[in-house]
Amino acid sequence: MKSDILKIANRKFKSRLIVGTGKYKNLKECAEAIKISGAEIVTVAVRRVNISDKSKPLLMDYVDPKKIMYLPNTAGCFTSKDALRTLRLAREIGGWKIVKLEVLGDKKNLFPDMIETLKSTEVLTKEGFNVMVYCNDDPLMCKRLENSGASAIMPLAAPIGSGLGIQNKTNIKILRHQTKVPLIIDAGIGKASDAVEAMEMGCDAVLINTAIAKARNPFQMADSMKYAVISGRKSFLSGSITPILQGSPSSPKKGLI
């Protein structure tokens, strides 16, 4: 497993668990959960998490950006214009070029607006950003995103924060087969078994926020998700047996007494 490295853009990571920084009770709790999870990448909602106002608690005071890679995202943006402005601001503030793009289409379900998302991806890649894209699980649109230069494809498993787990396994399998850049499940993971399932399907990583931050014991859940991702990845690399619709004896048939 030491040689099993996740590569995104020009960066390499040992952990395949990406965690969010929102919804925690406070930044201290957030930092402790991140530490326990073993994550090397954390998403930062530029419009919601304080990373520049020194008169208020700064995320950097709790989570060292020299040790953990910040992944600025455009959570809360509903237009390409807002998303582009947000990520350009993130680059000015912290020099971040590896970013997560979200352009939402509605406030109820928080599904991505794929037309605006594709348009934004095309602009950002031309400006030199490495764009990790939150998207739906439509194989055709995901291939367009990849062809436009996306550094990672991040389909939702279910609506953001729902905890429903992977709802469309068929499309995720198709995406795994066709996607050449990292495929990362983003949104909808609710419990450790969901993370295991995603990794067993061959996904390169999972992004989890609500399932950890809003758990009764976020620290214990962070630990659980850490090992779920490791377990699922090991299972995938091991090569699972092919399911069959009949019994198969575990002992030899020859040489019976």
Residue 223 token pair:
């630990």
d(CA 196, CA 212): 15
Indicate if the alpha-carbon torsion angle 64, 68, 217, 162 is positive or negative.
Answer: positive
Count of other CB atoms within 10 angstroms of residue 9: 16
Task: Give the list of residues 6+ apart from residue 208 with CB closer than 8 angstroms, or none.
Answer: 17, 18, 19, 20, 189, 195, 225
Catalytic residue among 100, 214, 226, 234: 100
d(CA 28, CA 48): 17
Find, among 18, 51, 30, 27, the residue nearest to 213 by Cα: 30
Annotation marks residue 35 as catalytic = no
* Dihedral over alpha carbons 221, 225, 231, 234 (to 10 degrees): -160
Which positions are catalytic? 100
